[in-house]
Structure 1
Amino acid sequence: MNFFTELRTETEINHFIQSRRLTFIYISKNNCSVCHSLYPQVHSVMQEFPEIKLGSIVIDNYLMLAGQWSIYTAPVLILFVDGKEYLREARYVPIDSFRKKVQRIYENF
């Protein structure tokens, strides 16, 4: 089973993104009901793609990063390929559509 690694420092985040060909980060905020309700659905989807390394960030702790990555809402789901942002979904994410997008990318890489 593939679990989310909680990323706590900017160094950890950067190392995480560069550590594998496919990495995924789930960005949430404290006290965000959408973040908490979407997380188990995203976790379930990501179990279908075992080669994708999973990470999570509570963006309240990294306001500078929020500005650098243009994160204005939560949750934000970002899939990186070779360290580059390849897919971004935010706030209300249709889970079936998200699954199909991730699957297309996964199959190509």
Structure 2
Amino acid sequence: MKPLSTPADIERHLADHRLALLYIKAPHCGVCHAVQPKVARLLQDWPQVAAATADIAEMPEMAGRFHALTVPLVMLFADGKEVWRAARFIRLQELQDALAIWVRQI
């Protein structure tokens, strides 16, 4: 997953890819650190999905932009529109199911 460091980078990432995943994390979040490698491994089977990470501590304005009330937050975007999200407790099977649906549609 590609690390993004500015709001402009995030917006460009979402605009440049038909299917984009955004993983929002915090530096002192144990769940974030535990879940990120699992999401990254799952995404290896989905090369059509451009995945990126962003640290909410570095960009607190993301909380308002993405309604990020807790982390980790995983969001899937299709053609720039949010189509799936999960926060705090990320069910990898649900993410995989969403990827399967959206990869077929895009």
Shorter-chain TM-score bucket reads over 0.9
Q: What secondary structure sits across from 2:57 in the alignment?
A: helix
The alpha-carbon deviation at position 80 of structure 1 amounts to 0.7
Partner of 2:83: 86
Q: Is residue 51 of structure 1 aligned with residue 75 of structure 2?
A: no
Residue in 1 that maps onto 2:8:
11
* CA–CA distance in structure 2, aligned partners of residues 10 and 93 of structure 1: 24
- The number of aligned residues is 106
Structure 1 residue 97, shift from structure 2 partner: 2.2
* Sequence identity percentage: 27
Q: Which amino acid aligns with 1:20?
A: H
Inter-partner Cα distance in structure 1 for 2:8 and 2:91: 31
Match of 1:21 among 18, 21, 35: 18
RMSD, aligned CA? 1.0
Runs of 4+ in 1 over 3 A off after TM superposition: none
* Whole-Å separation in 1 of the counterparts to 2:94 and 2:8: 32
Q: Structure 1 residue 62: deviation in Å?
A: 1.2
Alignment equivalent of 2:100, drawn from 99, 103, 106: 103
Find the counterpart in structure 2 of residue 36 from structure 1.
Answer: 33
In 1: Cα distance, 2:94 partner to 2:82 partner: 18
- Structure 1 residue runs of 5 or longer lacking an equivalent are none
How do 1:60-75 residues align onto structure 2 when only pairs under 5 Å count? Answer: 60-75=57-72
Equivalent-residue separation in structure 2 for 1:93 and 1:5 (angstroms): 19
Q: How many angstroms apart in 1 are the aligned matches of 2:98 and 2:17?
A: 19
Distance 1:24 1:77 in 2: 7
Instruction: Please state how far the C-alpha of 1:69 moved relative to its aligned partner.
Output: 1.2
TM-score (ref. length: structure 1): 0.92
> Aligned partners of 2:25 and 2:62: how far apart in 1?
13
